[in-house]
Structure 1
Amino acid sequence: MNLRAQNWHEPGTPGEWFKRICSVLNLAVLSVTCIIIVSEFRFDWCERLVGNYLSFTNNTRPENGAIWDAGRHMANALQSLDQMALARESAGRTVRTADSFADLAAKLGPGEWATLDKARFRALYLSLPPYRRRHVVDPVQLVWLLNGGATDRIFCEGRMGGMKIFFIDTRNRVVQQVDLDLQTLGNNGSHAVMPGTLDNAPEFFGRIYPASLFFTAVLRLPGEMRADLLLDTEDLLTEKGLLHRVGVGNSAQDGFICLGFEFRHLGESRVVKVKAREWAVWQLTLVLRGDG
């Protein structure tokens, strides 16, 4: 009775302690524990098991906590960076492919920005007809802006119906701002073509002349006056057909008066409208009337 009661209590002697420690059950538990620990350090199966469980239950767990918030912030930041990179690449492509200020203004959406280096701006500026350049930037002032060290970089911003150009110095100050309208820049603002005859255009009513009479009067004007009358003859030189009549507009706008040149080709008529300096047109009108 005493032996049985003693087995349920802690050992009384060191020998009994040793026997209990080295029992088969304890040694088996110790061995299994060592195997589990060693295998965990060797194969990381516990981390893999926990990771697989978390991955499997990821969709059912609520997305809250600091880790989720950090992940969302990181994803939003990466998305914003991608959008900024795409926008910059698109703006650079727009600047490289634009062949005129009108083309650049048409490609830039409202609020979109693009950077123009000085060489690109100079190329677009010089592509304009000489009489149009002053409407963008005064040539003398542009020499100082581009070559005098006053400008560090040039930005252009799209807007409804045109664009704005900003000349920025090294202190991020705007030293010059230019506001351009698409309507003014379209086709360099110098010409337009319409089917039909001059009789269909009310602006030329009562002021339509045979082409021979018109050019006879033009050739009587001084050379510098003819240069202001026909600012750019490229559109007229490239037109096919026989020049039949010329109409002189009866109203002025921004110092210009519209001239209409009626061409006939293969039984069809079309009118090429160009703009001429107002003062030169009035001098021409005097010659056409016989007063000059």
Structure 2
Amino acid sequence: MNLSAQNWHGPWTPGEWLKRSCSVLNLVILTVSCIIVVSEFRFDWCERLVGNYLSSTNDTRPENGAIWDAGRHMVNAMQSLDQMALARESAGRMVRTAESFADLSAKLGPGEWATLDKDRFRELYLALPAYRRRNVVDPVRLVWLLNGGATDRIFCEGRLGGMKIFFIDTQNRVVQQVDLDVQTLGNNGSRSVIPGTLDNSPEFFGRIYPVSIFFNAVARLPGDMRSDLILDTEDLLSEKGALGRVGVGNSAQDGFIYLGFEFRHLGESRVVEVKAREWAVWQLILVLKGEG
């Protein structure tokens, strides 16, 4: 018995090959493939689908690899630049709004930097009382620093209890460094107020004089000596009440001797202590003793 079997091998004739190639299944597959390709070029649905999938699973994927590292480095760099820009803007604002060196020092935190132009430094320097300017920088040297072409830039750095000022030349060398503490920037430690009378202060024992005798002796001193004796009369003029007695300290410290001025106001007494230069005080004592 002869049985006919299906011929699964390739067609032997062109007609048979064409019949198989143009079958319904092949035409459907070709049509669907064309539609998919054309729609992808037209609507980019494949990229959108993959993008949505990656976006939805982004939180669950580990953030490692060169791309993630590069992204983190870029974000950190941008944040650092933003912080530097904000810090520079803040420092510039502090310099512009500062009313004095003491105010600028209070606003600058330890390790914080600010740039001072020459005109701004000159304004803050000239705002100081004349006797306090010498504690910042010698006036003669300052003329050379600001007007002699020695300084290109001025930086100030905050620190605990004060600040540092650096004068930089065109070659980035420090030509002058000034270290200012709170007392120097403020009242130079030249004034303090103590409740009570001079009798309660042992340092003035044996050298307490009525105010008329004290100022008569001061009037006999040369003018330049009087300016070194009472460095800043504002410290005393700002006090209310009557001035009764003045005490002269018995010990010197760092070239200064304290003078105590006893004020009485509204039934209460207080002593205002101010610094006076040692050599001027000794001349005053000679006058008070009748030897000057």
Is TM-score (shorter-chain normalized) higher than 0.5?
yes
Q: Which residue identity lines up with residue 275 of structure 1 in the other structure?
A: K
Provide the rounded CA distance (Å) in 1 between the counterparts of 2:220 and 2:178.
39
Matched residue, 1:65 = 65
For residue 31 of structure 1, what is the aligned residue in structure 2? Answer: 31
In 1, are the aligned partners of 2:132 and 2:184 still within 8 Å (CA)?
no
Letter in 2 for 1:123: E
Judged with a 3 Å threshold, the aligned counterparts in structure 2 of structure 1 residues 202 and 37 are, in CA distance, closer, same or farther, namely farther
Instruction: Report the counterpart of residue 54 of structure 2 in structure 1.
Output: 54
Whether 1:119 aligns to 2:96 is no
Question: Which residue does the alignment assign to 1:135?
Answer: 135
Cα pair 1:245 1:261 within 8 Å, conserved: yes
The C-alpha deviation readout for 1:48-68, integer Å capped at 9, x for no partner, is: 221221122222222211001
The residue type equivalent to 1:136 in the other structure is V
Deviation at 1:2, TM superposition (A): 8.5
For residues 142 and 221 of structure 1, what CA distance do their matches in structure 2 show? 31
**CA deviation map 1:234-253 (0-9, x unaligned):** 12122211112212122222
1:2 and 1:224 map into 2 onto residues whose CA distance is: 141
Runs in 1 of length 4+ with deviation above 4 angstroms? 1-4
CA positional deviation for 1:39: 1.8
Instruction: Give the superposition deviation at 1:120.
Output: 1.3
Tell me the CA shift for residue 164 of structure 1.
Answer: 1.6
For residue 121 of structure 1, report the CA deviation from its aligned partner. Answer: 1.0
**Per-residue deviation, 1:15:** 2.5
Instruction: Structure 1: give runs of 5+ residues left out of the alignment.
Output: none
Q: What is the percent sequence identity of the aligned residues?
A: 83
CA distance in 2 between partners of 1:185 and 1:37 (Å): 78
CA distance in 2: counterparts of 1:189 and 1:3, whole angstroms: 123
Matched, 1:41 2:11: no
CA contact 2:135–2:184 (8 Å) conserved in 1? no
Tell me the amino acid that sits aligned with residue 259 of structure 1: L
Partner amino acid for 2:251? S
Aligned partner of residue 187 in structure 1, secondary structure: coil
Report what 2:216 is aligned to.
216
| Alpha carbons 1:102, 1:188 under 8 Å: kept | no
The whole-number CA distance in structure 2 between the counterparts of 1:46 and 1:72 is 29
1:4 is displaced (CA, Å) by 5.0
Counterparts of residues 262-277 of structure 1 (less than 5 Å):
262-277=262-277
The residue aligned with 1:290 is 290
Q: How far is the alpha carbon of 1:3 from its aligned partner?
A: 7.2
Is the Cα contact below 8 Å between 2:190 and 2:275 reproduced in 1?
A: yes
CA offsets 1:93-147 (integer angstroms, 9 cap, x no match): 3222322222322332222211111111111111222122122211111111101
> Alignment partner of 2:225: what SS?
helix
Structure-2 residue corresponding to 1:5: 6
In structure 2, do the counterparts of structure 1 residues 183 and 194 end up closer, same or farther at CA, with 3 Å as the change threshold? same
The match for 1:191 is 191
| CA RMSD across the alignment | 2.0
CA distance in 2, matches of 1:80, 1:45: 39
What are the Cα deviations for residues 217-264 of structure 1, in whole angstroms up to 9, with x where unaligned? 112222222122122111212221111221212222222222121221
Gaps of 5+ in 2: none
Q: Contact 2:196–2:270 (CA<8 Å) still a contact in 1?
A: yes
Q: Within 1, Cα distance between the matches of 2:88 and 2:3?
A: 92
Secondary structure class of the residue paired with 2:186: helix
The equivalent of 2:94 in structure 1 is: 94
Give the SS at the match of 2:240.
coil
The change in CA–CA distance for 1:204 and 1:9 in structure 2 (over 3 A counts) is: same
> Which secondary structure state, in structure 1, belongs to the residue aligned with residue 286 of structure 2?
helix
TM-score between both structures, scaled by the size of structure 1 = 0.91
Paired residues of 1:110 and 1:157 also in contact (CA < 8 A) = yes
Match of 1:20 in 2: 20
In structure 2, relative to structure 1, the CA distance for the partners of 1:200 and 1:47 (3 Å cut) is farther
Normalised to the residue count of structure 2, the TM-score between the two structures is 0.91
Aligned residues: 291
Q: Is the 8 A contact 1:102 1:187 kept in 2?
A: no
